[in-house]
């Protein structure tokens, strides 16, 4: 089609893309370069596939051509699995083509991010090492940059090979990703594949180094050369032809949502299953890894135990989890060391490089030392050592069975605080004005905060997951832009490498840090912002509001008390009763017995859900008492601090979302969205219409009136989202979210009005 209309492709040509993506042509090109590739064959039919299997043997890896994320591929250990995967792969490949490779399971995997210009200048932006061995898709593997276990000779071989691959494939300009595998037993090195484009690894490499690969690639495609382009992050002091040099370690850990899909196979294979990722920066591998673990927001503060070692089945479970990798394997590795397994024992089950395993073993031994010495043994030197290895206050508190605040007060007593270093592409060789920072426990602080301008901090949403994704990042970015337009210095705190909010030029100052209480408080301590906004990043920052306020941090916009009034089911119920609004019959319970009793009076079916959740996490429709008991046993932990709400399920009702802004005096309705699917389908999974398609004007006016009443009663200042169910002529209130909702980008673009920016301006005015 491009040829038909005379469109010229720049950067990578159609032939170069085909040469890289077509497995047969790529294999031929690598052999021409005398680079070894895995024993493999191409198949277009099942008969051809079986013939290739005879040559490469089992196990083998099947990959359909022209697919992403390992879609349709897999590992076959026998003929039955082989037939199933190949049948699926042929259907999913747009060219009905499969590459069938010898198994490289257990080999070490590396990636090189390469950029080339029209004059054949090539640079390596970043080397990336997969923590997990081959057999797990790189998108599901923990990765580390720069590569930690390569010798200099191996690195130089890969560097030269990467550049040679780009030249042979024909990528004239732009960025590409070349992947290698190394046999840990023999040192045999092979080229796995190359992507003649920017990839998810390119995004990670850009955030890890501060080198904007996509931006540079676009300029190279229109004729610039690397030496002509200046490096923005150093303020033009260095050209883009300088290979980035980094004096820190970056760790990426993928985020999974298997709990959303009961019965789903949660074992990690060559087919990608993660839904997001978190990135952390530290001066050491241990610091970087522990920061990433607590940034994942899966309830972990570090290497928290997964099993009770007193359980006679504990070791059996640990061995199984190490051998058959799941999303929690990193924590089971720590449990293995707690259970007395050796580094070699863990290596034999995981094929993870011993160097990484030694790092985790040392952390476990330090945890044991902390538990043995107790709080009295945490002197200034020992606590500094622990903090330099990435231990969170919350993790130390868990080990010592004390409150997190106790550890924080101890650090205050010792005057022990992190300093902030800059990501600058040059390992501090040149000065930089770009405030892209990470924390570590050293002596010299490079933060250099500006105290001459009013500052506002925006808390991001952390890693993408089902229910809290890129929609919230849209809101964070627009908030930063609006605040900058109003003359404020903007400070962004987030740890998601996939987002625009973590681009170093989106805000005035970027802190690439976990969105946890400890990390946010330390940034507030050094920056002293006029206020912190928590309502744009979804549930992640919202849950910090109370604790931040208790520590004296000015939370602007909707107050923590107003947030709690909307999120706490009992307080919310009182507000609704006061306003006389209709709700489905409901009850708040704190025990299973209470739930069973209340369910009998309300009647089934019921919608059950905990407080302070997003994206329907742990929300279900239950149809009888057996269903209800199963839910309480498997889905939630319920207590006085974590009550569960029971709602009568309204069958055949129409669900409606309303986005609004309130400045404390006025309420503006952003949009009324009618769901196409009936109530019972989560709003995030339902198509919707704006404006409402079947709702009468009277019904819409009732909802407008109720939204205004709720905004004033709850004390909302900023964005709010209200969900209704309409059955007949009755309007039932489902819930109120005192924050940005995932519908904000849709409403903003449909109405051509950036309501998240308007909200920021209203926050500023009401604050002043």
662 has pLDDT over 90: yes
Confidence of residue 129 (pLDDT cuts 50, 70, 90): very high
457 within 8 A of 263, measured Cβ to Cβ: no
Encoding tokens for residue 404? 């997190």
pLDDT of res. 667: 94
471 has pLDDT over 50: yes
The mean pLDDT of 184-207, rounded to a whole number, is: 89
Residue ranges, CATH 3.30.470.20, the chain: 108-246, 654-767
Encoding tokens for residue 434? 């770009």
Q: How far apart are CA 740 and CA 766, in angstroms?
A: 18
pLDDT of res. 636: 63
- Residues contacting residue 431 through CB under 8 Å, at least 6 positions apart: 234, 235, 237
Residue ranges, CATH 3.30.1490.20, the chain: 39-102, 585-648
pLDDT of res. 187: 87
Q: How far apart are CA 404 and CA 187, in angstroms?
A: 46
Supply the DSSP string of 382-440, one letter for each residue: HHHHHHHTT--HHHHHHHHTS-HHHHHHHHHHHT---EEEE--SBTTSS----EEEEEE
Going by their DSSP bridges, the two strands 620-622 and 60-64 should be labelled as unpaired
Encoding tokens for residue 220? 């190279």
Confidence of residue 40 (pLDDT cuts 50, 70, 90): confident
Q: How far apart are CA 538 and CA 471, in angstroms?
A: 9
φ, ψ of residue 456 in degrees (nearest 5): -130, 135
Supply the DSSP string of 130-193, one letter for each residue: ESSPTTS-TTTS-EEES-SS--HHHHHHHHHHHHHHHHHHTB-SEEEEEEEEE-TTT--EEEEE
728-766: pLDDT as tens digits? 889 999 889 999 989 999 999 998 887 877 666 555 543
- With CA atoms as reference, report the closest residue to 417 among 441, 453, 386, 446: 441
pLDDT of res. 322: 97
pLDDT of res. 167: 92
Q: How far apart are CA 294 and CA 288, in angstroms?
A: 10
pLDDT of res. 614: 54
9 within 8 A of 174, measured Cβ to Cβ: no
381 has pLDDT over 50: yes
Confidence of residue 533 (pLDDT cuts 50, 70, 90): very high
696-736: pLDDT as tens digits? 999 999 999 999 999 999 999 999 999 999 998 899 998 89
Confidence of residue 768 (pLDDT cuts 50, 70, 90): very low
510 within 8 A of 502, measured Cβ to Cβ: yes
Q: Which residue has the higher pLDDT, 203 or 263?
A: 203
111 has pLDDT over 60: yes
pLDDT of res. 366: 98
Per CATH, domain 585-648 is 3.30.1490.20: yes
135 has pLDDT over 60: yes
The mean pLDDT of 224-244, rounded to a whole number, is: 92
pLDDT of res. 652: 83
**pLDDT above 70 as % of the chain:** 96
340-350: pLDDT as tens digits? 999 999 999 99
Confidence of residue 767 (pLDDT cuts 50, 70, 90): very low
Q: How far apart are CA 620 and CA 40, in angstroms?
A: 46
325 has pLDDT over 70: yes
The mean pLDDT of 664-685, rounded to a whole number, is: 87
363-375: pLDDT as tens digits? 999 999 999 999 9
pLDDT of res. 616: 52
Confidence of residue 651 (pLDDT cuts 50, 70, 90): confident
Burial class from Cβ neighbours inside 10 Å (0-12, 13-18, 19+) for residue 443 reads exposed
92-109: pLDDT as tens digits? 889 889 989 888 889 999
CATH assignment of 654-767, given 3.30.470.20, 3.40.50.150, 3.60.10.10, 3.40.50.300? 3.30.470.20
**pLDDT above 90 as % of the chain:** 64
The mean pLDDT of 486-507, rounded to a whole number, is: 95
**Please, which residues bridge with residue 122 across strands?**
116
DSSP state of 263: T
pLDDT of res. 765: 45
- With CA atoms as reference, report the closest residue to 125 among 202, 196, 190, 192: 202
Q: How far apart are CA 721 and CA 536, in angstroms?
A: 12
Encode 724-734: b = buried (16+ Cβ within 10 Å), e = exposed. Answer: bbbeeeebbbb
242-259: pLDDT as tens digits? 999 999 999 999 999 988
Confidence of residue 619 (pLDDT cuts 50, 70, 90): confident
46 within 8 A of 40, measured Cβ to Cβ: no
Q: Give me the CATH topology for the region 108-246.
A: D-amino Acid Aminotransferase; Chain A, domain 1 (3.30.470)
Beta-strand (E) ranges in 540-689?
A: 555-556, 586-589, 606-610, 620-622, 644-648, 654-662, 667-678, 688-689
Q: How far apart are CA 763 and CA 457, in angstroms?
A: 13
Whether the bond between 605 and the residue before it is cis, its omega within 30 degrees of 0, is: yes
551 has pLDDT over 60: yes
423 within 8 A of 405, measured Cβ to Cβ: no
The H helix count followed by the E strand count for the chain is: 26, 27
676 has pLDDT over 70: yes
Confidence of residue 74 (pLDDT cuts 50, 70, 90): confident
- With CA atoms as reference, report the closest residue to 500 among 528, 479, 484: 479
CATH number of 39-102: 3.30.1490.20
């Amino acid at each position: 089609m491009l040829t038909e209309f005379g469109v010229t492709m720049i950067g990578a040509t159609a032939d170069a893309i085909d040469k890289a993506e077509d497995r047969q042509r790529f294999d031929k090109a690598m052999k021409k370069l005398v680079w070894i590739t895995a024993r493999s064959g191409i198949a277009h039919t099942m008969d051809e596939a079986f013939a290739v299997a005879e040559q490469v043997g089992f196990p083998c890896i099947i990959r359909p051509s022209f697919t992403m994320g390992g879609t349709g591929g897999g590992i076959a250990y026998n003929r039955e699995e082989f037939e199933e995967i190949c049948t699926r792969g042929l259907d999913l490949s747009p060219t009905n083509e499969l590459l069938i490779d010898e198994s490289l399971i257990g080999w070490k995997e590396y990636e090189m991010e390469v950029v080339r210009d029209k004059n054949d200048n090539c640079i390596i932006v970043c080397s990336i090492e997969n923590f997990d061995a081959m057999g797990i898709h790189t998108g599901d593997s923990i990765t580390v940059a720069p590569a930690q276990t390569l010798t200099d000779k191996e690195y130089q071989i890969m560097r030269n090979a990467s550049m040679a691959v780009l030249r042979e494939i024909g990528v004239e300009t732009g960025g590409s990703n070349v992947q290698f595998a190394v046999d840990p037993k023999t040192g045999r090195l092979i080229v796995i594949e190359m992507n003649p484009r920017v990839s998810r690894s390119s995004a990670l490499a850009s955030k890890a180094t501060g080198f904007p690969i996509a931006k540079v690639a676009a300029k190279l495609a229109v004729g610039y050369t690397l030496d002509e382009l200046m490096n923005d992050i150093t303020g033009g002091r260095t050209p883009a032809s300088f290979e980035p040099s980094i004096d820190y370690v970056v760790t990426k850990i993928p985020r999974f949502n298997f709990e959303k899909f009961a019965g789903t196979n949660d074992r990690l294979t060559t087919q990608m299953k993660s839904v997001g990722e978190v990135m952390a920066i530290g001066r050491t591998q241990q610091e970087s890894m522990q920061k990433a673990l607590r940034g994942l927001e899966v309830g972990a503060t570090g290497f928290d135990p997964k099993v009770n070692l007193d359980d006679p089945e504990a070791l059996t479970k640990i061995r199984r989890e190490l051998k058959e990798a799941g999303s929690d394997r990193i924590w089971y590795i720590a449990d293995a060391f707690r259970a007395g397994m050796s580094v070699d024992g863990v290596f034999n089950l995981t094929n993870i490089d011993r160097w990484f395993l030694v790092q985790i073993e040392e952390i476990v031994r330090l945890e044991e030392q902390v538990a043995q010495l107790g709080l009295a043994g945490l002197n200034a030197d020992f606590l500094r050592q622990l903090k330099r290895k990435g231990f969170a206050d919350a993790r130390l508190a868990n080990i010592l069975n004390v409150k997190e605040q106790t550890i924080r007060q101890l650090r205050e007593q010792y005057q022990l605080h992190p300093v902030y270093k800059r990501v600058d592409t040059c390992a501090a060789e040149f000065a930089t004005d770009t405030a892209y920072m990470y924390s570590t426990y050293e002596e010299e602080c490079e933060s250099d905060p500006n105290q001459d301008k009013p500052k506002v901090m925006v808390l991001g949403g952390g890693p993408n997951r089902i229910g809290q994704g890129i929609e919230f990042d849209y809101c964070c970015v627009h908030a930063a832009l609006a605040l900058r337009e109003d003359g404020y210095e903007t400070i962004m705190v987030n740890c998601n490498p996939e987002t625009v909010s973590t681009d170093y030029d989106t805000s005035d100052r970027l802190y690439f840090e976990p969105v946890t209480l400890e990390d946010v408080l330390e940034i507030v301590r050094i920056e002293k912002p006029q206020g912190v906004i928590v309502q744009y990043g979804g549930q992640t920052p919202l849950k910090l509001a109370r604790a931040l306020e208790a520590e004296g941090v000015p939370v602007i916009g909707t107050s923590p008390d107003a947030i709690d009034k909307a999120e706490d089911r009992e307080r919310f119920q009182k507000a609704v009763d006061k306003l006389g609004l209709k709700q489905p019959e409901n009850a708040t319970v704190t025990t299973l017995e209470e739930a069973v009793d209340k369910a009998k009076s309300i009647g089934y079916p019921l919608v059950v859900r905990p407080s302070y959740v997003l994206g329907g996490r742990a929300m279900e429709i239950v149809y009888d008492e057996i269903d209800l008991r199963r839910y309480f046993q498997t889905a939630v932990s319920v207590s006085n601090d974590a009550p569960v709400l029971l709602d009568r399920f309204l069958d055949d009702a129409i669900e409606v979302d309303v986005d609004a802004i309130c400045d404390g005096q006025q309420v503006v309705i952003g949009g009324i969205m009618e769901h196409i699917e009936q109530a019972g389908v989560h709003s995030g999974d339902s198509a919707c219409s704006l404006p409402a398609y079947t709702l009468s004007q009277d019904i819409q006016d009732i909802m407008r009136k109720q939204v205004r009443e709720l905004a004033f009663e709850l004390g909302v200042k900023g964005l709010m989202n209200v969900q209704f169910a309409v059955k007949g002529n009755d309007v039932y209130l489902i819930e109120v979210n005192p924050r940005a909702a995932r519908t904000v980008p849709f409403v903003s673009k449909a109405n051509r009005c950036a309501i998240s920016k308007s909200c920021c301006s209203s926050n500023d005015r009401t604050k002043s």
